[in-house]
Structure formats: C-alpha cells, structure tokens
Amino acid sequence: MTRPGRTERKTRAPRPKHARTLSTMDKLTVVLMVVVPALIVTGLVWVPAISTVVLSFTDWNGIGNISDMNFIGGQNYVDVTSNYPPFGPAMEHNLIWLVVFFFGPTLLGIFLAVLLDREIRGSRIYQSIFFLPVVLSLALIGFVWQLIYSRDQGLLNAVFGGQTDWFGDPDINLWAVLVAAGWRHTGYIMLLYLAGLKAVDPALREAAAVDGATEVRTFFQVIWPVMRPVNIVVLVITVIESLRAFDIVWVINKGRNGLELISTLVTQNVIGEASRVGFGSALATIMIAISTVFIVIYLIQVMREQR
C-alpha cells in the first residue's frame, strides 16, 4: 500500500504551481457542486417544509400580504385533533393502507417476480400484463375502477347481481380502493424485484442446486440475503407509496366519506377556494412528522450497514 502512494507523491512533487491552479479550478468546481444542489435542496425542500411548519402556527387564508397573518400558537393543532372529525379516520386509513400494502401487494409482487424469474413460457406477456397498471396514471385507474365498482352501472354488481355500494359505503370503500391501488402497486414491486433477481449471479443458484438445496431453501437462504439492498428499496417504496397515497382516492370522491387520508385533507384545505392555509399546513406538518419517523429509521438502517 505504501508504494503506490509514494510514487504518486513523487510524480506530483515537481509541479506545485500547476497543482495550485488546478486547485482553484477544483475549488470552483467543488463550490459549484456544493452550492448549486444546496440551493436547489434549500429552495425546493427546506424552505417549503419550514414555511409549512411556520404557517401551521398562523391563521393565514392565502390572501393578502404575509404581514397580515396572525400567529395563533398551536390553535390549528388543537382544532385538527379535537375539532376536525375527518382527522382521526384519515390517520387510521393511512395506517391501514400501509399495513395492507405491505402484507398484500408487496409480498404478492415479490412472489410474482420470483415466478416470472423462472423463465416460464410467456413470461414477457405476464410481465406486461402485471406492469400495465403502473404505466397508467392513477387518475385513469380511478376511472377504470369506477366503471367496475359503480353501484348501479358497474361491472361487479352487474355480473354478480349484487347491490353493494362499493365506493359509497364507508365500511367497504377503503378496501375496494385498496384492491385498485394494490393492483397497481403489485406490478410496480414485481418489476423492481424482477430487475433485482435478474442481477443475481446465476452461479449462486447453481452452487445451491449442486449442494442439493430445494428451490424454496435456495430462495430464502441464498437469494434473499443477496437481495437485501433491493428489499430495503422495496420496503421504503411501500412506505412512501402508502403515506403519499392520494390520487386514486381524490379521483373517486375527493377523499371523503370513508376515504379520508392525510394527503387529501391537506389538499382540501390548502388548494382551491377554501384556502385554510394555516389549518392545512398544520395537517401537512403532521404528515411531515410521520414521514420523518420512517426516514430516520431508514437512514439509521442504511448507516448501520455502511459501518
């Protein structure tokens, strides 16, 4: 190890001048490379995030000068938790969403990926079919499922002759929506995991096979540990998708009547004529806080690994 170091120093030694000019360039480059992303991150992430937190302590209605707004302390938070009936259900629904996504579509997607990785006949066709919903926008998916779930004109009730109000009954609609959203999430996870599986060194499998391991054992004891980075990505994506779940619910009924989610409550309050900016910001801040918990867990995990 010492040798290459020395030779390097030797070759560089005779040109201190050159090195200095380079370092000015280097400095400039480094400064640019640090400052530009820092500005972008500050401008697009930190400033809005901190403004949201600050606004959540005001009664600003989005109209007029910022100087017109009044600081009202934690009143918005008190209102959110004690005087806003949709808030409790929204928290609950986000949690259900996360749990269902994890145990349903995510595991199913991984399972499908493992199956498709076995080069069965027509693998490409299956891949396309499962991946199709990912390509469609969620707004379109919402519309497609509306055709299926509509009480009076929907496919499901027409075929089974039922009267179930899939989207209107608050005890059912969340689950109906989860099927629709999960349909899409499955394809997403499948593709992600399939890409990971393709990258696994085939020699590992062969070695396992030679040692006489069964398929199941090979997967859990050889492939799964190798796939750890992909597993973490899949987990993180599942958490993120569950927290930011929004569009499909918004398309169906703007996140009301059994489909309340934190994200839709924020939108209802901030966007549009309503403009309860302060109140909506308080909701958004709560969402940031929850996300932060997951981000911190993720970061600790990643850092521990690097060490």
Asked if residue 150 binds other proteins (CB under 8 A), the reply is yes
Paired residues of 58 in beta bridges: 71
Give least dist CB 141 to other proteins, A. 11
DSSP H/E element including 303: helix 277-306
Interface with other proteins (CB under 8 A), residue from 60, 130, 145, 166: 166
For residues 263 and 80, what is the distance between their CA atoms, to the nearest angstrom?
A: 14
Q: Cβ of 176: how many Cβ atoms within 10 Å?
A: 22
Give least dist CB 275 to other proteins, A. 5
Q: Specify the stretch interacting with other proteins by CB under 8 A; choose among 27-35, 42-50, 134-142, 205-213.
A: 134-142
Q: Which of helix, strand or coil describes residue 65? A: coil
DSSP H/E element including 195: helix 173-198
> Is the CB of 86 or the CB of 109 nearer to other proteins?
86
Q: Which of helix, strand or coil describes residue 71? A: strand
> Is the CB of 117 or the CB of 169 nearer to other proteins?
169
Q: Which of helix, strand or coil describes residue 140? A: helix
Q: Specify the stretch interacting with other proteins by CB under 8 A; choose among 108-116, 196-204, 271-279, 295-303.
A: 271-279
For residues 179 and 100, what is the distance between their CA atoms, to the nearest angstrom?
A: 10
Window 25-54: residues binding other proteins (CB under 8 A): none
Task: Give the footprint of other proteins on this chain (CB under 8 A).
Answer: 59, 61-64, 75, 79, 83-86, 137, 139, 142-143, 146, 149-153, 163, 165-170, 173, 247, 250-251, 253-254, 256-257, 268-269, 271-276
